[in-house]
Amino acid sequence: MPRFAANLTMLFNEVPFLDRFALAAKAGFQAVEFLFPYAYAAEEIRQRLDTHGLALVLHNLPPGDWDAGERGIACHPNRVDEFRAGVATGIHYAKGLGVGQLNCLAGRAPAGVSGEVLHQTLVANLQFAARAFKEAGLRLLVEPINTFDIPGFYVSRTAHALSLLDAVNADNVFLQYDIYHAQRMEGELAATITQHLRRIGHIQLADNPGRHEPGTGEINYPFLFAHLDRLGYSGWIGCEYKPATTTTAGLAWATAFMQR
């Protein structure tokens, strides 16, 4: 059966971040993920992971100025030095936290930059990160994100992300497949997962509309979970959704699958 990781950026957010690890473990999760660790010392987070017996399965590279609305800088030609410094920071945290893979947010396409330059910049940055990650024993992920939630995001479809992976041509770079984002942009969830499973390094979920927990929208999650089992997917599925009410009240769907 699927293995679920609690996304602590979005779940249990009624309490301070460092207190969410205990709640995730109490709810039955064996793993967690989150957007960014950089506001805390790695030692603080590692202590929570170890205390509660949790694995960390994912976090992102530094995204630029998140609070100002930036959602990654990897495609920005005037931010290459900043991106490369962020790769070093990400690796430092990954080593301290024991996580094996990090996601690279491509970012919104900056105004006035040609598609060719955006592509060249992103590929070169991903190649740089892939080499550094290889030396550190890490996997690099690339995630398409829907342009309804983040207008102008440069990589929004599976095919585009896979074409980037082809251009990067590194054996430690994989697709991060977010079911919610894929449903909003293209649908064909089961067929896409089947076709590209070997290139998928991590899966995330939320239902649509609303980006709430499974069972609140149109996506047939029991079918998709069974489908992933039949395909032999052995990775984690990150629960990156906004609880419709409270996190605990909305966990019945996960409890049912975790107990099977």
pLDDT tens figures, 213-239: 999 999 999 999 999 999 999 999 999
For residue 110, pLDDT beyond 60: yes
Q: How far apart are CA 65 and CA 72, in angstroms?
A: 8
75 CB neighbour count, 10 Å cutoff: 27
pLDDT tens-digit readout, 146-199: 999 999 999 999 999 999 999 999 999 999 999 999 999 999 999 999 999 999
Per-residue confidence band for 93, with pLDDT thresholds at 50, 70 and 90: very high
Q: What is the DSSP letter of 108?
A: B
Per-residue confidence band for 256, with pLDDT thresholds at 50, 70 and 90: confident
Average pLDDT, rounded, for the chain: 97
Return the pLDDT at 260: 55
Return the pLDDT at 56: 98
Return the pLDDT at 24: 97
pLDDT tens-digit readout, 2-15: 899 999 999 999 99
Return the pLDDT at 259: 56
Buried b (16+ CB within 10 A) or exposed e, 165-186: beebebebbbbbbbbbbbbbbe
Long-range contacts: 10-13, Cβ < 8 Å, 24+? Answer: 10/239, 10/240, 10/241, 10/242, 10/243, 11/239, 11/241, 11/243, 11/247, 12/247, 13/247
For residue 68, pLDDT beyond 90: yes
Percent of the chain exceeding pLDDT 70 equals 99
Domains assigned to the chain: 3-258 (3.20.20.150)
Per-residue confidence band for 255, with pLDDT thresholds at 50, 70 and 90: confident
pLDDT tens-digit readout, 69-89: 999 999 999 999 999 999 999
Catalytic entry in 14, 143, 188, 213: 143
Amino acid at 232: G
The answer to whether residue 240 is catalytic is yes
Catalytic entry in 70, 116, 218, 240: 240
The two three-digit tokens of residue 242, written as one number = 């906004």
For residue 119, pLDDT beyond 60: yes
Read off the pLDDT of each residue in 97-111 and give the average, rounded to a whole number: 98
Amino acid at 147: T
